[in-house]
Structure 1
């Protein structure tokens, strides 16, 4: 008696978190490209440049799981469930996240849930917008006597409020990068004004590194007006600090008035 055997393809679940960078598809790492080329499924976020999906095989399943500030269509719990289900049923899942997976991107949470299912995981860092976007604008995080350190702070925490860390950061002389804060610019600038920093240079960069990039440079006192004038909206990051004075668009007259005020006191 001959038994008919049905050969089943073995699925080997695997999850790779890939940082897609700030927006320009050319800023994806080579290792990220290699991961996408072997993906069975790609779960990608709202701020990921969709041109990166072309690196994945034609037969790969590509699923948008993005959420913006006012959109809860894809909760983190749902994203976690999709990631696990697809890995167990299809094999290699690439979780493509904007920026770097571990900078305000809940990357650790996704790795933790994957490992709770004993699914092998890999992390491929990306260029964080917090560092890469100011750098592309010739704004260093640290430079000479202008700044010896930097903070990266969320403008809006999980409770929808300004992070308490920002109040502490505003007291320092460090460069301060605020992510997800442009909608709260009035409240944020009020924090700096309370510290006597109305003339502190500020840069606001919308859609950094992309073809839709929009930049305004000013000081704490006037930056809200400039944001309205230039119609800057989210996604945008804020850079506070003396290093912003190095930006080509910064008006040196602001520094002059700032020095005069300091001498008066």
Structure 2
């Protein structure tokens, strides 16, 4: 069995097709999916998708690129309250993105710290989006962890080796997306190869970042199998062994989905 540890089934790209999308994922050997809410006003919709499908779990938070759009930042207690739902398995996604939204760096950092507190209180995995913010990202994660440990997933990891090392040092997991399967991503594959196999996950981040041979098309959870094939090559494993290990890793991190 494979797990798609991060997808977005509520996005317009999948409207009216969610049942078919999930059926194709199951046919491709994907036994579980985590669909991610990126803005809290959509949490009821994302929750309903998880409630309607046995294989689907969900997480919720505010994406860093949405931070500047929020009229107010959530209270830690609001995120903690969501975690009471039996299919709510993670906090986020949250993080820092200075590539497109560097002007909102200060509010992104405040928002990230709120999510960290929620992860500390619930002990659910903090799901991190990081782009062009490696130093600030690592420092804030480390500062929070020093105050109180929390589980951590670096979603769609495509940052540099220093952030990978610092995240792993505080117990974080690195999630491999379709980016790792792109032909020009040899440097990224080297980062994964140096990480402990027991800390590797696979995901699609669909509808984005489809791996070859689907690159340039809409991504979907079934295609996590293509990324997993590349992951197996990186670690010198059979596809079956890599699938088994990453599924075990997922269940260790996302305990509520085990």
Could you say which structure has the larger radius of gyration?
1
> Higher relative contact order at CA 8 Å, sep ≥6: structure 1 or structure 2?
2
TM-score normalised by the chain length of structure 2: 0.29
TM-score normalised by the chain length of structure 1: 0.29
Higher helix residue share:
2
